[in-house]
Amino acid sequence: MGYAGQTSSHWYAGGGVHPGQPADRRPAWPWVVLLVGVLGLAIMAMGTFFISAVRTLALGADSSAEMGALNWGHNAIAVIDIDGVITDKDTEKVNKELEEYGNNSSIKAILLHIDSPGGGAAASQEIYHEVMRVREKKHKKVVASVESVGASGAYYIASGCDKIYANPASVVGSIGVIMEWTNYGDLMQWAKLKPVTIFHGALKDAGDPSRPMTPQEQVYFQSLVDNMYGQFVHDVAVGRHTDDAHITQLATGQVWTGEEAQPLGLIDSQGGFRTALIETARSVGIKGEPKVVRPSAERPGLLDMLEDADGLFRNPGQMLDRSPGFYFLWK
């Protein structure tokens, strides 16, 4: 009994819980700090979202105000940039801008600012035809200004314009067609993989990248390339107001500098963007410094960023799923 009491008394003295006294509680301040931190982060996130939304609305308002001002009679030159390899996505964007500016009576001319080696055959051709349509149906002057490169599909587009400017050291031309894909038959053989294909039609599986091309397929694909080449040459001849025979002599796939291209009739004048802008403005009756209008910049959303990331970090399996492609592209 006494031993138990001594032990009990010693336990109380060491900081144990005495009968009848409430248990010690841990301090609450760490939880308060954590809660405040979480709330702070939430407030910051909401603030960032709100600021971004306000800026987006402001940009939209500025763009609307600008277009509204143009509709009140201000003469302007619209500038559309064509940069990098031309894809179907670029076609949709550029054609939309051409349509918008073509319909706006206060836009006196459209200047295509080009710095591109070309791209997809159909994509380049579609922009060319839209340029021609805007010129003919909307009676709008469209001028091309080549910065560093205006080759192949990019030159295809430029040839549809009323006038082409290029710097003396710019690279233009490369009229030709290229078709390519990756053949991975040896890789599949090494991995002991055997493709199985069921089809009907002698050329239905032409271009199968898991096996060598047959002589019949070689002739077939060459005929397609030759046909596209003929379309390219003819459209450039129409745009440059000459005949197919003249362009065919130049359609070797090679490029020329702007200085070389002018006497060949591939461009009209040597000069940079500023020269093209001022001379285009004067040609449509704009005096003084011309007002320049550009499409509002599109801010990529999360989905666009994820799609871009997928393009940067390509799935290795996608390399084995590449079908034949036709390109107006300088490489």
Locate tokens 């301090």: which residue?
A: 27
- Say how many C-beta atoms besides its own lie within 10 A of residue 73's C-beta: 8
Name which residue leads in pLDDT, 9 or 170: 170
Of the residues 204, 223, 296, 331, only one is catalytic, namely: 204
Instruction: Answer whether residue 129 shows pLDDT above 60.
Output: yes
Instruction: Answer whether residue 240 shows pLDDT above 70.
Output: yes
Q: Output the pLDDT for position 115.
A: 97
**pLDDT band at residue 193, thresholds of 50, 70 and 90?**
confident
Poorest-confidence range of 47-56, 142-151, 249-258? 47-56
Q: Output the pLDDT for position 9.
A: 42
How many angstroms separate the CA atoms of 178 and 155, rounded? 15
271: left (phi over 0), alpha (psi -120 to 50) or beta: left
pLDDT more than 90, % of the chain = 56
Cα-Cα-Cα-Cα dihedral sign, residues 146, 246, 124, 294 = positive
Q: Output the pLDDT for position 299.
A: 58
Q: Output the pLDDT for position 321.
A: 47
Average pLDDT over residues 136-143: 96
Name which residue leads in pLDDT, 301 or 266: 266
Q: Output the pLDDT for position 114.
A: 98
Locate tokens 């600021």: which residue?
A: 51
Of the residues 152, 159, 170, 174, only one is catalytic, namely: 152
Instruction: Answer whether residue 271 shows pLDDT above 50.
Output: yes
Residue 224 near residue 203 (C-beta atoms within 8 A)? no
How many angstroms separate the CA atoms of 129 and 236, rounded? 11
Residue 145 near residue 80 (C-beta atoms within 8 A)? no
Average pLDDT over residues 146-152: 97
Q: Output the pLDDT for position 181.
A: 78
* 163 is a catalytic site residue: no
Q: Output the pLDDT for position 203.
A: 87
Q: 75-295+320-329: which CATH topology?
A: 2-enoyl-CoA Hydratase; Chain A, domain 1 (3.90.226)
Instruction: Answer whether residue 5 shows pLDDT above 50.
Output: no
Q: Output the pLDDT for position 206.
A: 85
- pTM of the entire predicted model: 0.73
Please list, in sequence order, all residues whose beta carbon lies within 8 angstroms of the beta carbon of residue 148, skipping any fewer than 6 positions away: 115, 167, 170, 171
**What phi and psi values does residue 177 have, to the nearest 5 degrees?**
-130, 140
Q: Output the pLDDT for position 304.
A: 55
Instruction: Answer whether residue 33 shows pLDDT above 60.
Output: no
Q: What is the chain's mean pLDDT, rounded?
A: 81
The alpha carbon of 28 is separated from its chain's Cα centroid by a whole number of angstroms, namely 55
Q: Output the pLDDT for position 32.
A: 60
Instruction: Answer whether residue 140 shows pLDDT above 50.
Output: yes
Find residue 107's DSSP bridge partners: 76
**pLDDT band at residue 30, thresholds of 50, 70 and 90?**
low
Q: Output the pLDDT for position 40.
A: 67
For the chain, the distance separating the N- and C-terminal CA atoms, rounded to the nearest angstrom, is: 99
Name which residue leads in pLDDT, 184 or 280: 280
Instruction: Answer whether residue 253 shows pLDDT above 80.
Output: yes
How many angstroms separate the CA atoms of 158 and 236, rounded? 9
* 204 is a catalytic site residue: yes
Residue 149 is encoded by which pair of tokens? 């490169």
pLDDT digits (tens, 9 = 90+) for 47-95: 555 554 444 444 443 443 344 344 434 789 999 999 999 999 999 999 9
